[in-house]
Structure 1
């Protein structure tokens, strides 16, 4: 019998104050990669209020799992069509039965086999998460899967190795040893710092063009400010 979100919530304890129970990231490479994925998407979607990003955050999805604490949450997950607000963890039965729409696991020697097998099966069969990617900051292994019917099917890379995410409306691809987002037209989604530097560079270029034009006008005997 399939339970509705309300029926599920009625059966579960009130867990809105459950703290995340995740271990530290494997290495500085993993931490930097996770921070990059979060910062770039939050910058790109800075005007949106209908999503939640979980970064190394626990997901609680059943009474048994809550009791055993035998599941480590994804490194990165995205839930759409929800309220953008801080959360201590993602508690499925307190969120209308919503599971992540996209998950990215960062492989490490300690977790790679589980991420490729047990977690992939869980995200496919229990979470029904539409898209699942994994990436290794160490070896640059990168794979992606999309839920088609009841099973994950591999997302084929394009000619430069990027994979399209229908959930994000963006490509995911490896550049300079890091997993990055790219627009449909192929432009890199910047970090806030990269965006600020780009804006400053464009302003400087515009000022330089204005000065060159003023010099050309003066050479023709025309005072640009007149």
Structure 2
């Protein structure tokens, strides 16, 4: 990704206070995200994570998480100007647990895919400030948003440095080139799809998520 070129990444983060300068190693930076809007938002994040991690269970070159702080500049430590996506995926990185995503500890890698879950209190920021941040600073190739209550759903792909709306297919799904999967709405939830079926939940893998497959076959 070319995003890392937008910033000079220091060797360590230093908090400047009146009393002293406190140096914090990247691995000690905890996530500092506010609580999620509702149970629907929490369940949606857990669903996306469970399905993608199962689908990519043979891979160890990605990191997928939700509601986790991304530290992309040292100033965030003092200004608390955090930008934690509701769901994001970074490719070509080590798959291991993290306290947060710190650019200086991750070779300057920004997310390849970001999904924000809209709410009445966050929609304006997600469609405005975060849209611009992900486009201009993160240079994240694909950005989606979804409202768990109203089911509003839209996706964008970075083309020539600007986000362009993705066109839905006949089923209303949007193709993610980064994930090589479709995203679409199924039973009022945002789900991942391959060519003709919903990606199953791990506990349904033996049955192949039969209910989803049958429903799609009828379309």
2:146 counterpart residue number: 135
Residues 1:9 and 2:10 are matched in the alignment: yes
Equivalent residues in 2 for 1:1-226, closer than 5 Å:
8-10=9-11, 12-13=13-14, 14-183=25-194, 185-198=195-208
CA distance in 1, matches of 2:158, 2:55: 25
CA distance in 1, matches of 2:42, 2:206: 23
Q: Which structure: larger Rg?
A: 1
Shift of 1:5: 9.7
Deviations 1:75-118 (A, max 9, x none): 00000000000000000111000000000000011100100010
TM-score by length of 2: 0.85
CA distance in 2, matches of 1:95, 1:72: 16
Shift of 1:69: 1.1
Q: Which has the higher helix share?
A: 1
Contact 2:174–2:184 (CA under 8 A) maintained in structure 1: yes
CA distance in 2, matches of 1:199, 1:104: 24
Contact 1:8–1:93 (CA under 8 A) maintained in structure 2: yes
* Secondary structure, counterpart of 2:9 in structure 1: helix
Q: Which runs of 4+ in 1 moved over 4 A?
A: 2-7
**Superposition RMSD in Å:** 2.2
* Secondary structure, counterpart of 2:196 in structure 1: coil
Shift of 1:71: 2.3
CA distance in 2, matches of 1:61, 1:73: 10
Gaps of 5+ in 2: 15-24, 212-219
1:224 counterpart residue number: none
